[in-house]
Structures are given as C-alpha cells and as structure tokens.
Chain A
Amino acid sequence: MDIQWTDDVDAAMASARQSKKPLLLDFTAAPM
C-alpha cells in the first residue's frame, strides 16, 4: 500500500473530518 502524500494541509484536515483519522504532518528538508 503506497502512501498518498499531499502538501495541502487544509484539504487533509477536511478529509480527516470525514475519515476520523488523525493527520500525520511530516516536515522535511530532504530533496523531494
């Protein structure tokens, strides 16, 4: 199962309200 990362925090928060899952925020300085 792949991780579907997003960089849209507010959209993820809206999804979290529906899914009841917490958000995982990964702050990175690594090349993307």
Chain B
Amino acid sequence: MTSFIAEHFEPVRLHVRKHPEAMGRFGANWTPTVLIVDAEGKEHHRIEGFLPVDDFLAQLKLGYAQHAFKTGDFASAEKRFRDVIDEFPKSDVAAEALYWAGVSKYKGTGDAGALKETATAFQSRYKESAWAKKSSIWAA
C-alpha cells in the first residue's frame, strides 16, 4: 500500500479542521474521503468511507486505472484494470474493472470485438453484478 501510493501518486493529506476550504473545493462532505485527481484538479476517482486494507488497495488501483482511461492512455488503462482483476478477483471492484478493461481495449484499438469478448467473459464471472448487466448489450 505505502509503496504503491509513494510510487504512483502525488500524495496530499488534508485535515478537515485545518483545511475546510479544500473540502469545499473538491466537494468532499465526509471523512474519510480519498480522491484521485489530475494536475488540473479534475476528479477521476472517489472513495468515500472506511475500507479494510485490501479493499482500499483494490479501489486505489481501480482509480489509478481510471486515471489512465480518463487521460486517454487506453493501453495502460486496460493493463491496470486487468491487474485489479488478477490481484483482487473477489473484491467488490473486480467486476467494474472487467467492464472497463473491455471498454479500454475497444477505445484503444477500435475493435468492437473487445466488447463482445467482455460480455462473454461476464457469462462466467461476476454474472450477478450490475456490470454484467451493463455489458449484456454487447453480447448480441
């Protein structure tokens, strides 16, 4: 956890009593809240509320993948989303990562087959998830 944060982020810790203006600036209304934002302050991922360490790390890695996706680096995004699935296959975010891995591949390559592959993958994994429902449109 520590090394992942130190290696991949510019880390900022803000106490609500000392920095109430930052709470307003970024729309944080509760603690703990963790945001992943770009250098212009645009939000790419939000984690609200306490999570156990492994769940938090899975969320962080999902957010790191979302950052790549939202900055148009679709190849890196796909790899990072698939890393989340591989490292945290039973986490709450694994299904979401599978969905966005497929979208990243499609946006990076233009190959619509990536979406169909993703829908097919959801038939054997995470098939009760909301993300499986969202991908079902690609199965036809």
> In the assembly, what is the distance between CA of A29 and CA of B72, in Å?
34
**Size range of the chain A interface in the assembly:** 20 to 34
**Size range of the chain B interface in the assembly:** 35 or more
A residues near B32, Cβ cutoff 8 Å:
26-30
What residue in chain A is nearest B46 (Cβ atoms)? A25
A residues near B11, Cβ cutoff 8 Å:
3-6, 12, 23-24, 26
**Count the A-B residue pairs with Cβ separation under 8 angstroms: how many?**
119
What residue in chain A is nearest B45 (Cβ atoms)? A22
Known A15-B10, A17-B39, A22-B67; judge A27-B3 contact (CB<8 A).
no
A residues near B86, Cβ cutoff 8 Å:
none
Cβ contact of B2, chosen from A3, A14, A30, cutoff 8 A: A3
A residues near B15, Cβ cutoff 8 Å:
7, 28-30, 32
B46: min CB distance to chain A, Å: 10
B residues near A9, Cβ cutoff 8 Å:
12, 14, 22, 25, 41
Whether B41 lies near A13 (C-beta < 8 A) is yes
Residues of A at the B interface (CB closer than 8 Å) are 1-9, 12-17, 19, 21-30, 32
What are 11 A-B contacts defined by CB distance under 8 Å?
A6-B11, A7-B15, A9-B25, A15-B10, A24-B36, A25-B12, A25-B28, A25-B36, A26-B12, A26-B13, A28-B32
